[in-house]
Structure 1
Amino acid sequence: MNVKATNKVETNRYELELEVSPEEFNEAINTVYKRESKKMNIPGFRKGHAPRAFIEKYYGEEVFYEAAIDHLYRPMVMEAVEKSGLQVISIGEFKIDEIGKDKGILCKLNVVTKPEATIEGYKGIEVTHPAVEVTGEDIDREIDRVRERNSRIITVEGRAAENGDIVTIDFDGYVDGKQFDGGKADNYELTLGAGQFIPGFEDQVVGHSIGDEFDVNVTFPEDYHAEELKGKPAVFKIKLHEIKVKELPTVDDEFVKDVSEFDTLDEYKKDIEKRLQEQREKAADSDVENQLVEAIIEKVQAEIPDEMVENEVDEIINSFAYRLQSQGLKLETYLKYTGQTTDDLRVQYKPQAERQVKVRLGLEKIAELEGLKPTEEETEAEYQKLADSYGMPLESVKNLVTVEGINGDIQNQKAIDLVKANAVVVEKKAEEEQAGEKKPAKKRASTKKKAEAAEGEEAAEKPKRRSSKKAESTEEKNEG
């Protein structure tokens, strides 16, 4: 196969003139003849044993042309893309101009190419570093959460119900003297003061004791979900069976020994403070990186073809479907439950795809301008990191993930690290953050730190791994 010409049609779009020699074409015809002839009945021959010349005479000379073209298409397209030297992202129209045993094939292939991006001003970007502070109240709130997890429910006797109690009741509701759907239940557990029921209901249970039978008079809100009950007065007949209360453990050294590896409350509080500090530093660094990504998106200039965005939408939906599958749910089932279609998902994810494409183009351009390339050691380390993360043998990961994809990820990470290292970070004080003020603050150059890979939908604004061999061939993806 030969690429006779590469013609630029418009920005990011080319027409490749291709030529398949008569020898190559006839070889392809012979290949498909051996396969297809087994299904053919030719008078005078046993099924599958008719010579090619007899079949072509019986059905016409072009009988195997279409199958031969199908046989040649994929390798021809891949070779054409490689020989053209273009960075093809999508395959378009394929048109045959001439075809014949003596001529071979003269054809044209339209392709869409990766856009040329430009970016300026990626050094010295000013971003705000959120305040990182852990207060005594923060530590107390964390301890309270642990107390909640370690609480126990005990039955209360000898007193009336109070806000905060968990009561077990029977209730039977009436509107206009008639029972209504959903208004009756037995042995229902209700936390008083939690606002689970209609306003005023729980307040009227407070003060009653075990065994009491009484009425609760309320009015359904005007915006109540059931049309027939909106704004209607109702009477609920109540019987109170049980009063329980959540008992929280006392915060002391014994509590600490039960819930942690520490022996004293002081040690436990210091550990909580350290963990909260680390979490908030990590969140603050992620916030800074998100600001830098936003700045890159604004600064990169490129005429991005629609096909590139649509390919990215495909990647996002495939990734979403894989996550659903890992939870035992098919995409089709999810769409049915949510009343959506695949087209709805495509519309929903298109803005995200546009941003991902743009930031990736920006980072790739920065890496090119700065000469950022991964070393063999970095590539191997990234493969090992993936193997450890997924619990797979290293060689299995290498078979699934292309080295080009791995190196692209490393290169893009180097680019974002460089942008971070050269950014001007404004430190925001805690009191300013609480007050929502924007006062001038002290500036510092950022330190270079490895960006953490985001999980789930938050990864949308960051360069995404594009290294699965299943999606390696653009031609394969767009053939249909």
Structure 2
Amino acid sequence: MALNIQKEPLENHHVKLIVEADPADWEKAKKQAARKIAKQVKIPGFRPGRAPYKVVLKHVGEGAIIEEGLEILVDELYPRLLEEAEISPYGPGKLVEISTFDPPVMEFDVPLAPVVELGDYKSIRLPYEPPEVSDDEVEEILEDLRKRNATSESVNRPAEEGDIVYMRVSARRLDIEDEDEAILYSGQFSSARIGEENSAAERQFFPGFSQHLLGVSPEEEKTFTHTYPDDYEDEDLRGAEVEFKVLVTNVQTYQLPELDDEFAKEVSDFETLDALRADIRQALEQNAQQEYQQAYGEEVLQKLIEDSTLHYPPEALEDQKEQVIANLKQRLAQDGLSLESYRQFLGQSDEEFEAQVAEAAENGLQRELVLAEVAQAEKIEPDADTFNRTSTALLQSLISDMTPKQVRDLQKGDLIPRLLSSLAADMTLSRALEYLSTIARGEPWPPEAEEASPQAETADADAEDAAGEEEPAASEAIATNETPTPAAESATEPTTQESEAE
């Protein structure tokens, strides 16, 4: 017989379900409860579990049987209730109220599974203009290679333009009378290449610092003052007048190698400088293409999110917040840091941290829900070859340090299926993003030659990174959270409030 169900939508993507239990089901549940209690409680004159219902009722009281009977009734009734009410739950519902016990009339509050109403993603078009690599960018890389292969030699003469100077620096503020508070540095070791804008000393003290070292010889000391501008990045030093005392400990010449074919042979596997230049350009173009493609894909996705309507319960967002924090802790642990020390370093208040986590969680949840809906609508699946290659690398990495017994134990559990399922879900979302980017460029799907698809290359690289490469730096962990929405594994199991159930 069908259940007598009243269904009422609630705010925050929940639904209220009021159901009246069948009297026969309720009597059956109470008898099962009595047998269960009889096995747990010693009743004089009866073996465990053999006492009649009325004897158990008299021995433990009606309240105990009702409490136990409700648990049995709800466990049997709740899955049927969801099915007959045609409810797709996000997670377990909550037994809110029992208005009567003869038979029980129960009220449940159930969070609903997320629902996504996609915008017209097939009509989204955004200009696709990959950046070009300039000659200056190539030369900048070559210049960096020259610097890394430069030679130096100590000299006993006054420092000249281009020399490397090693020094001890002391500094005090002239606008503060207290000597202890005025001291900024006391014998601080530093170095600078005179004329180089981004040297260690230029970054640590102030731009142009190295010019004050011209003409100073080893073991000589020079004193000079500097007034920081009112818009200086360090607010504490804005407008401050500071006296610097610099003791030069060493002066070295700095010789850059000639930029020719011999240099190319020394720093690479190429025979000519032109071949090295071409390789640098190709690498820069690939990096620029991948970065642009990733940004382009996210722009398309954000447009679709704005055009779509999403409904999800607060529980989904809370689960996503927990996952954001868990991912952050894991990445920090790889760097030997705790969440507390990380927050202290950033100087974040509780409110600032919670706001950052909430924003990342909401963005991540909406991103995953929309991509998953696109994948379902377009029947998108991971590329089989990429999945096989990536999953093999993942499993090899997982068992690389295990003993044969540990590998056998691993195979008996459910960790491997869960890892492969998670990998497949991640790759499906990446491929859905590739699909959106392809359509937004006005190109056909699937691409005629997927090997040439920049988005496909990026998706494959991302998937392989997930199989064994290092995760993003801790400072990026919150913003890059991409963990799939937690599955509602116990969605058909309600929670109860004991005080109300009694």
* Range into which the TM-score falls when normalised by the shorter chain: 0.7 to 0.9
Q: CA, structure 1 residues 322+56, in 2 after alignment: closer, same or farther (shift >3 Å)? A: farther
Determine which of 376, 384, 393 is the counterpart of 1:388.
393
Moved more, 251-260 or 60-69: 60-69
Counterpart residue number, 1:62: 63
| Aligned CA distance change for structure 1 residues 164 and 23 (closer, same or farther; 3 Å) | farther
Counterpart of 1:291 in structure 2 is 299
Task: Indicate the residue corresponding to 1:95 in structure 2.
Answer: 96
Give SS of 2:387's match: helix
Match of 2:279 in 1: 271
What are the ranges of 5 or more consecutive residues in structure 1 without an aligned counterpart? 426-443
Separation in 2 of the partners of 1:410 and 1:29?
Answer: 51
Which of the residues 211, 216, 219 maps onto 1:208?
216
Residues 159 and 207 of structure 1: is their aligned pair in 2 closer, same or farther, counting only changes over 3 Å?
closer
Any idea what the Cα deviations from partners look like across 1:269-289, whole Å, max 9, x if unmatched?
222222222222222222321
Within-5 A mapping of 1:35-434: 37=41, 57=58, 60-63=61-64, 66=67, 81=82, 84-97=85-98, 106-162=105-161, 165-169=164-168, 171=170, 173=172, 175=174, 179-181=179-181, 182-186=183-187, 188-191=189-192, 192=194, 194=199, 195=202, 196-198=204-206, 202-219=210-227, 231=239, 233-335=241-343, 337-340=345-348, 344-370=352-378, 372=379, 374=381, 378=384, 382=387, 385-389=390-394, 391-392=397-398, 398-401=416-419, 403=421, 409=426, 412-413=429-430, 415-424=432-441
Please report how far the alpha carbon of residue 111 of structure 1 lies from its aligned counterpart in structure 2 after TM superposition. 0.9
Name the SS for the 1:129 alignment partner.
coil
Count of matched residue positions in the alignment of Structure 1 and Structure 2: 446
Q: Aligned AA for 2:336? A: G
The 2-side partners of 1:87 and 1:204 are apart by 72
Q: Which amino acid aligns with 2:417?
A: N
Letter in 2 for 1:318: A
- For the residue of structure 2 that corresponds to 1:127, the secondary structure is coil
Aligned residue for 2:398, secondary structure, equals: coil
- Paired position in structure 2 for 1:465: 484
Q: 1:2 to 1:200 in 2, by over 3 A?
A: same
1:438 corresponds to = none
CA shift for structure 1 position 297: 1.0
* Alignment check: 8 A CA contact 2:165 2:248 kept: no
* Deviates further, 125-134 or 56-65: 56-65
How far apart are residue 348 of structure 1 and its match? 1.7
Q: CA shift at 1:296, angstroms?
A: 0.9
For residues 122 and 433 of structure 2, what CA distance do their matches in structure 1 show? 11
1:410 and 1:198 map into 2 onto residues whose CA distance is 47
CA contact (8 A) 1:127 1:424 kept: yes
In structure 2, C-alpha distance between the alignment counterparts of 1:128 and 1:66, rounded to whole Å: 64
> How far is the alpha carbon of 1:95 from its aligned partner?
2.7
Sort the Cα spacing of 1:147 and 1:104 in 2 relative to 1 into closer, same or farther, 3 A.
farther
Contact 1:173–1:235 (CA under 8 A) maintained in structure 2: yes
SS at the partner of 1:88?
coil
Code of the aligned partner of 1:419: L
CA distance in 2, matches of 1:155, 1:478: 76
More contact order relative to length (CA 8 Å, sep ≥ 6): 2
Q: Which amino acid counterpart does residue 312 of structure 1 have in structure 2?
A: Q
Task: Give the deviation of 1:243 after TM superposition.
Answer: 1.5
For 1:465, the aligned partner's letter is P
Q: How far 1:89 moved relative to its partner?
A: 1.6
The answer as to whether partners of 1:168 and 1:242 remain within 8 angstroms in 2 is: yes
Q: Give the deviation of 1:128 after TM superposition.
A: 2.1
Q: Is the 8 A contact 1:174 1:180 kept in 2?
A: no
> 1:140, 1:277 → 2: CA distance?
14
Identity of aligned residues (%): 21
Instruction: Please state whether the residue corresponding to 1:189 is helix, strand or coil.
Output: strand
Residue ranges of structure 2 left out of the alignment (5+ in a row): 400-409, 448-452, 464-470, 498-502
Q: Deviations over 1:401-459 (max 9, x none)?
A: 475x666556545544443333245xxxxxxxxxxxxxxxxxx7687343524874599
Aligned-partner Cα distance in 2 for 1:353–1:30? 47
Q: How far 1:113 moved relative to its partner?
A: 1.4
Distance 1:362 1:445, change over 3 A: same
Secondary structure at the residue paired with 1:114? coil
Residue 403 of structure 2 corresponds to: none
Q: Is the 8 A contact 1:300 1:358 kept in 2?
A: no
Q: 8 Å contact 1:213–1:238 — kept in the other structure?
A: yes
Given that 1:90 and 1:478 are in contact with CA atoms closer than 8 Å, whether structure 2 keeps it comes out as: no
C-alpha change, 1:243 and 1:32, in structure 2 (3 Å) is farther
Q: Could you tell me which residue of structure 2 aligns to residue 430 of structure 1?
A: none
Query: For residues 185 and 162 of structure 1, do their structure 2 counterparts lie closer, same or farther at Cα, with a shift above 3 Å needed?
Result: farther
* TM-score, reference length from structure 1: 0.72
- Partner amino acid for 2:398? M
